[in-house]
A and B are shown apart, each in its own frame.
Chain A
Amino acid sequence: MKSFFTSTSKLLVATALVSTLGSSLLMAEVKDKFQVSWTIYVGFMPWDYAQQKGIVDKWAKKYDIEIDLVQVNDYIESINQYTAGKFDGCLMTNMDALTIPAASGVDSTALIMGDFSNGNDGIVLKGTNKLSDIKGQNVNLVELSVSHYLLARGLETVGLSEKDITVVNTSDADMVAAYTSSEVTALTPWNPQLSEIMSMKDANLVFDSSAIPGEIIDMLVVNTDTLKDNPKFAKALTGAWFEVMALMKKGDKEALTFMAEASGTDLAGFKGQLNSTKMFYDASEAVEFSLSNELPNTMKKVSEFSFDHGILGEGAPNAEFIGMEFPNGKTFGDTKNIKLRFIDTYVKMSADGKL
């Protein structure tokens, strides 16, 4: 029996060691290897190109580090893994950055705001082209996502609220098949599913994100502590990003075709999706966007929406519970609990040619 207790205590020590190892990933330190997770979406495809064509490697080498972009199949899983400390950075929208890592207490920084949705998210109704007809219907969408936010903003414009409809949580991968089912009459998908659904019979786009420009932002989010200790990491990523942006701006056919194929469409289809995406091809545009007054206003709306839906986390007393910081010195919410930071430091370096 004695040896049994010894082995039990050994097991416990081993447990403690293993969990310390696990949590040490959360601690920042100067390091030379970094991992960033990404998923397939029109605004994220330039990262795939940059990785596959060695652009990321080139910039990483310049700063004497290694950066690995890891493709994750499931968008939410990618963010969850980042939040748990497995990745140093991750591609996500502004709302998910607030409700997942920031609400979990992981101090995160939006390093690069790459684009905003300008029609990539939309409300589709079957057989009617009036948004107000949505009243009383079941609406299929990914619940608590930016689609849900878009729906809420759309309903506001016709004097309706969420009480007037029923939200049916539907996975983004099943959205197209859902449309073909006869009982589905209203959906709120994003691209590429949105354009697929719009090509089908009876589909009417009654509201889309071009009506709320700048509110659904796609960004590269990195762990704030990692960033503080490793500015090289941020410099290399920013450099690689704007090198691809320059190619896209001049319409480089090879680069665009590569991205189109990697996201499962053709050049025309990808260009169509780009038309509903406001990409910041020039670093100066991205700097300007991050300095605008609109950004804090948008984040306030997003924060209030998230609080109303209970996704700011347990114990959140109000929408100001999680603090946010913006590059022009503005803040929103609790300044003692700043967990989401928008910066223009590195993008500005790129604009000034200092990378």
Chain B
Amino acid sequence: MKRLMNLRPSKATKFFLGLLPFLIVGIFYIIASDIRLMENPHDKLLPSLTSFSKAIDRMALTPSKRTGEILFINDTSASLQRLGLGILISAILAMLIGIPLGFIPFVRAGFSPFVAAFSMIPPIAVLPILFIVFGMGELAKVALIVIGVTPLIVRDLQQRVSEIPAEQIIKAQTLGGSTWTIVVRVILPQIMPRLLDSVRLTLGTAWIFLISAEAIAATEGLGYRIFLVRRYMSMDVILPYVAWITILAFLFDYFLKKITYKLFPWYSGAKENT
């Protein structure tokens, strides 16, 4: 008799097993929704599948009565712009701060404790200060993402820089490299894929900050819509929006992974060897 740990599922079984949790959750939902709707056909907590399709039709396919725009597309593009800009700025800032912090002992001595402490401040708690500094417009929303995410990436990069084998650095020095050339020719190429990895890990956090920023003051955006319709418990809109955010986050992560493999083929190979 084979041990359970040595049994391998066939391709079809694997597909079925992967699908199963989704199916169970779906069935769980439909049963619970049916029961609630039987009690009260206007119940909004667990809407039926038809109300979902109606809500999706209303939000994503029909122009809004008030503005003539398609709300779903507006919301998505507003949120993706904020998120993209926030992540881009965070990544660039993190690179500019993280490399010297990890590589130059004097910079590390001066700023490492400060960065460590700063990264512990919960940005949401000091929101009123952020309003006064950055205002309430687009800048504040991007700033909230940057402030929330940058310290996390900086600390990760600092760690990765200091993990680069000393032999490499010494070898580069014996070949005549200055601090600057070593940063550009040795550190930077090795750190780039790590930066992308780090961005992937902080994406979840970035989404949280995006949604919070849009909950505070906004006229459009995925988070804005969710917080707005929450006022009258329109779960038929909220749940598809949550599903959409999940899909977007998944795609973002997937493409970053693909880009990393494409641009730095050696990196994934090296990772598998360790």
Contacts and interface: CB of A to CB of B under 8 A. Distances in A.
A15 B31 CA distance: 8
A276 B218 CA distance: 29
Contact of A181 (B32, B135, B231, B233): B135
B36 interface: yes
A339 B42 CA distance: 11
A12 B26 CA distance: 11
Interface in A96-139: 99-100, 103-106
Contact of A140 (B38, B65, B136): B136
B232 interface: yes
A12 B35 CA distance: 13
A171 B215 contact: yes
| Interface residue SS majority, chain A | mixed
B156 to A, nearest CB: 31
B128 interface: yes
B217 interface: yes
A105 B32 contact: no
Contact of A178 (B55, B136, B227, B234): B136
Interface string B26-49: 011001100110111111110000
Interface string A18-38: 111011001100000000000
Contacts of A174: 127-128, 131, 216-217
Interface residues of A, number: 48
Given A140-B136, A168-B136, A177-B127, A76 B230 contact: yes
A76 B54 CA distance: 25
A55 B227 CA distance: 37
Nearest to B33: A19
A142 B127 CA distance: 18
B231 A100 contact: yes
Contact of B232 (A19, A170, A313): A313
B132 interface: yes
Contacts of A184: 136
Contacts of B131: 174, 177-178, 180-181
B24 to A, nearest CB: 7
A167 interface: yes
Contacts of A83: 44-45, 233
A99 B229 CA distance: 11
A1 B142 CA distance: 51
Interface string B218-235: 110000100110111110
Nearest to B219: A168
Interface string A159-174: 0000000111111001
Contacts of A352: none
Contacts of B41: 105
A83 B39 CA distance: 13
A336 to B, nearest CB: 13
14 contacts: A16-B35, A27-B39, A80-B233, A84-B233, A105-B43, A140-B136, A168-B219, A174-B128, A181-B135, A181-B136, A311-B232, A313-B232, A314-B51, A314-B54
Interface of A: 8, 11-12, 15-16, 18-20, 22-23, 26-27, 76, 80, 83-84, 99-100, 103-106, 140, 142-145, 166-171, 174, 176-178, 180-184, 310-311, 313-315, 339
Interface of B: 24, 27-28, 31-32, 35-36, 38-45, 51, 54-55, 58, 65, 127-128, 131-132, 135-137, 215-219, 224, 227-228, 230-234, 236
